[in-house]
Copies of this chain bind each other. A is one copy, B any other.
């Protein structure tokens, strides 16, 4: 392991990250909300941490191997999550202990979007802006991770998306170097954010709200600057814009990149992608179930309002955004549980969404069908195809393995939460919400996470990280074979 080179990179990242504390300083002075000094302090501390990590190792510039990629990815999220907590820790406007600060920071950066803050509206604008921005940078990190890094590391079948192997997105021919890929994706991400902000603004939000909510929409993060989340605006237009941009952000960014860079924009890039088709189908299916059940139980007065609520909650939860308009946890019967379970599917691979990812669920489904067919015709040979390409066995095994390990980590996290004293429904739903980077749970954690104990919060921080790093990136660090030369 090239530890010194790794520490150098981490130091540089932290130094860069310290710059994210400066926009809140500007916001604070603009709104004169008194939050500026805290962020200035946080900026200095963060920059200093980055400097002392970088300084002694600045000449270690060895080439890094794939194996060291795992460590860098984990350190990237773990250290940025940690220094991201500094503004919450030093803040004079809200009293937050270490566990709460780390929870809020990791929840932002992993785009989970669960909050420990009960009264958001009492916070200074600077702090609100910082939370939204954490999600935006987190979303950017996720896209680079999912499109450029994970396929290289081969996590859970994502070698499928390696540019050199045959696969659904081989046409996009992502440049192999992470830096260039990141730049290209950054451009797409930025354009979508601006479009989303403009739409929110035209629909009646203030510029501040429009910017903040566009950050947490394109990142599928789910943070809001209001206690009632998107419900605050009571606007069907704003709900619809949110749904639209969540669906766009739930699609593989490599596809967006292809669509953007094509000479003539073609909708077929999306239409021909089996994952996008499955993703749209899932959104429609979940919406339809919600709509039918809500109609049968006369939960809302008009048909239009029922549909609007069904669509918003279905898309918000199943893409793992976690925005709410009403308290969907009080919806009748099985709807709350179905909705949070739908977050296991999540967004497409290479999107900012969480969960298992649509492509994996699609493959699991195809594989399950194949097992059934094999029972009837044991001697026939069935290939798993995506589009017209048969998938290699290695990818299929990796997807099965991913799913089983996801289930195991889920059970361990849930038992750990029960152990810290949470009740069954809260533990279950909190684990779903953290591992899938969804945000809100049910029961005690349906709205905020302030009432859970510190031990529970730490468990959840680990669960968010497991979810965001697609389990294996983090898990592999615990194997002896990883550390052996």
Contact = CB atoms under 8 A, between A and B. Distances in A.
24 contacts: A66-B378, A67-B376, A333-B421, A337-B427, A341-B415, A364-B404, A367-B400, A367-B404, A368-B405, A370-B401, A371-B398, A371-B402, A372-B472, A372-B475, A372-B481, A372-B482, A373-B479, A374-B398, A376-B479, A393-B393, A400-B403, A403-B404, A424-B425, A424-B428
Interface in A345-377: 364, 367-377
Interface residues of A, number: 53
B400 A404 contact: yes
A276 interface: no
A411 B368 contact: no
Interface string A246-266: 000000000000000000000
A72 interface: no
A333 B453 CA distance: 14
A396 interface: yes
Interface string A52-82: 0000000000000011001000000000000
A41 interface: no
Contact of A405 (B155, B371, B442, B482): B371
B154 A337 contact: no
Contacts of A128: none
Copies per complex?
A: 2
Nearest to A403: B404
Interface in A409-429: 411, 414-415, 418-419, 421, 424-425, 427-428
A111 to B, nearest CB: 24
Contacts of A424: 337, 424-425, 428, 442
Interface string A139-164: 00000000000000111000000000
B333 A418 contact: yes
Given A70-B375, A154-B374, A155-B375, A337 B396 contact: no
Contacts of A370: 401
B396 A397 contact: yes
A154 B475 CA distance: 32
